Amino acid sequence: MGIEVSRTLGVGGITQNINIFRNKYISFGNDYSDTFESTSPKRYTTEPYIRKSINNNPKIKNIIKNFNPEIELNMNELRELLNNHATDTKNITIGITEHLPFSLKQKVDITALEKAAYLHDLGKVLIPKEVLNKPGKLDKAETEIMHTHSELSYELLKNSNLDNTTLYLIKNHHQNAKKTGYPKVGNDFYADLNLQILSTADKFSALTEKRPYKEPKSEKEALTIIYQDVKEGKLHPFVFKALVDFTNNNNINEITQKTA
């Protein structure tokens, strides 16, 4: 039997095909002054910065030597990712944070979260297009290549002036409280509240968007999948509840605006 998500944790009903105002928050937008650009995470996503980072960090070349020896950059794919999935993930992290209990909200580093959400997939600029855009399921070798992207994101950024919290979030955005994600971590690893917010926002965005290998899932389907992480101890129930409240409240806002 399936999970009855609508009664989970007393979080209220989950409506099919919720239309979330994910872009109601100000993103690291397309219009900015030179001053803003010099302080925005956007400055780490330019081709000159990326190539300089590769040249200054031998570990990057070592990671990609078997699948991208010519160091080809997928700049078009990166721009598409930043304008859509990365911005969407950033907005969902803000939405989750806004719906946390006050005591937990005080523990959130929203500045680090926003930067990490925008930059978490930067390493995909080095993943071969035939893997990144494959229209079907990845095989074992391709999956291993894809799984390097979070470490590559970290390595591209670790010598920047980003703070350690942001770098920790970027490197581990595919990890969880049970340590079953990637990259591998030691016994002392702790998936803190900030990381659980980011990983949840990233997963929700990925599940509900169209990709070369899949059609988008409805928000209800995505929430049902993410609830499984709660059952398995990978995700704190309050983070899940905040995500559900965010989706439900934004759905209500949409209905109110349409009928006003």
State the residue range of the domain holding 181. 30-259
For the chain, counts of helices (H) and of strands (E):
14, 0
Say which CATH number the domain at 129 has.
1.10.3210.10
- pLDDT class of 249 with cuts at 50, 70, 90: confident
What pLDDT score does 22 carry?
Answer: 55
Read off the pTM: 0.84
Burial degree of 165 (CB within 10 A; 0-12, 13-18, 19+): middle
**pLDDT tens digits, 177-199:** 999 999 999 999 999 999 999 99
Residue 239 has pLDDT above 90, yes or no: yes
Domains: count for the chain: 1
Helix %, strand %, coil % of the chain (to 5): 60, 0, 40
192 C-beta neighbours (distance < 10 Å), count: 17
In a domain, 93, yes or no: yes
In a domain, 25, yes or no: no
In a domain, 179, yes or no: yes
**pLDDT tens digits, 17-59:** 334 445 544 443 343 334 345 678 999 999 999 999 999 999 9
- pLDDT class of 242 with cuts at 50, 70, 90: very high
**pLDDT tens digits, 99-127:** 999 999 999 999 999 999 999 999 999 99
In a domain, 226, yes or no: yes
Q: Which two tokens stand for residue 45?
A: 């996503």
